[in-house]
Chain A
Amino acid sequence: MTLPRRRFVLITTCAAVSPASAKPAEVATLIQALVGDASLKDGLIHLDLPVMVENGNAVAMSVSVADPPSPVEAIHVFAEGNPLPRVAVFRFGPRSGAPRVGTRIRLATSQTVIAIAKLRDGSCWRDSVDLLVTLAACIE
């Protein structure tokens, strides 16, 4: 009824997450490259993520910009604690009804997720959420 020890070790290995993780500095560099000389202010864009994440495999996320002074061209999302810092880029075209998107993302660990909105007038707006990620106790 018991598993051989070697198989036990392998099961825990395949459950392990990659050791490297994007540092906040790396994300800051990416944001700087995105924003360039334009102004970057907090506000206008709203990043909706649960503060307490039940399972990092699928976290419901929505981003929206309410009443932008100029059309929103794109929204960029970054995850400071993931092995790779980029999450997604959403560009809105002429048939878009509103600059908002909902999706589900993966989060490797507790961290800060940042969303940047770039408007046609060149201005950039920022929102972030600090969250805690838990994982399931019994892994297959």
Chain B
Amino acid sequence: MKRVLPLTVAAALLLGAGERRSGYDDAGPETRAMQDDDAANPAFLWVQQGESLWAAVEGAAGKSCASCHGEVARMRGVAARYPAFEPKLNRPVTIEERINLCRVDHMGAPALAWNDDGLLGLSSLIGLQSRGAPVAVEPREPLLSEGAKLFRERMGQLNMSCAQCHEDRAGLKLAGSLIPQAHPNGYPEYRLEWQGMGSLYRRLRNCMIGVRAEPFPPNSREAAALALFLAVRANGMKVETPAVRP
């Protein structure tokens, strides 16, 4: 059994014989233009909020993010490594989980909900510090293989797996929309469909509801496993946070 799993992971990571395409490459020219111009990219409204929160003192410890981390520019390259291993949970965690762990453990501040604008602000601000850098996530087991398995597992009333759309049919159309390869290199991102900002977790939730499956709970092991698998699959691609997608 142990010998089979790495092969499954390797196969899933290969993405067929074709090249890897970012969601940016598959988006229309207007959407790309929105991402290319920081003055026109609505995600920067959240980045601005992140900047305020970074400096804000919050919680029983009387600290801000800046108290420990200094200027946010020092977070350069950090987001590119996430999901990264967290000893406390004995598994890789997403950047959002990491931010909440910092808040709870070091600031004595409450954790922020998965769709909280403040959390999106912080994760987009930190992600921005890695923009242009290659995704460089450690392929940590056993979570990576769990994620690979989830990627290929059929789920929901529609009984479809991630792979059926995003690997087998990437580049084809689903109801007029182009199916992307589903790389997470732009998250958190401004999605025109949402008319707002969202994390990778929001998108995974979106997809699972789309196939009429009960979505994995926020901050769950499964959600982290899928996030890890997707990130490792995108290793080497450029971080585009905060991206704009249709």
Interface contact B210-A60, CB-CB below 8 Å: no
Interface contact A140-B177, CB-CB below 8 Å: no
Write out the residue numbers on chain B whose beta carbons fall within 8 Å of the beta carbon of A55. 31, 192-193, 246
Count of CB-CB pairs between chains A and B under 8 Å: 68
Contact of A50 among B29, B174, B175, B192 (CB under 8 A): B29
A54 to B34, CA, bound (A): 13
Write out the residue numbers on chain B whose beta carbons fall within 8 Å of the beta carbon of A52. 28
Write out the residue numbers on chain A whose beta carbons fall within 8 Å of the beta carbon of B86. none
Identity of the chain A residue whose Cβ is nearest the Cβ of B42 in the assembled complex:
A58
Q: How large is the interface on B (under 10, 10 to 19, 20 to 34, 35 or more residues)?
A: 20 to 34
Q: Cβ of A66 < 8 Å from any Cβ of B? A: no
Contact of B28 among A54, A57, A136, A137 (CB under 8 A): A54
Write out the residue numbers on chain A whose beta carbons fall within 8 Å of the beta carbon of B192. 54-55, 57-58
Main secondary structure of the interface of A (DSSP, over half): loop
User: Could you tell me which residues of chain A, from 2 to 59, have a CB within 8 Å of some CB in chain B?
Assistant: 2-3, 8, 11, 50, 52, 54-55, 57-59
Identity of the chain B residue whose Cβ is nearest the Cβ of A11 in the assembled complex:
B209
A1 to B205, CA, bound (A): 13
Q: Cβ of B102 < 8 Å from any Cβ of A? A: no
A4 to B83, CA, bound (A): 33
A58 to B214, CA, bound (A): 29
Of B193, B209, B210, B212, chain A has the most CB atoms within 10 Å of the CB of B193
Taking A3-B209, A3-B213 as known contacts, 17 extra A-B pairs with beta carbons closer than 8 A to each other, sorted by chain A number, are A1-B156, A8-B157, A54-B27, A54-B31, A55-B31, A55-B193, A58-B195, A59-B30, A60-B30, A134-B176, A135-B175, A135-B177, A137-B174, A138-B206, A140-B193, A140-B205, A140-B206
The residues of A with any CB-CB pair to B shorter than 8 Å are 1-3, 8, 11, 50, 52, 54-55, 57-60, 134-140
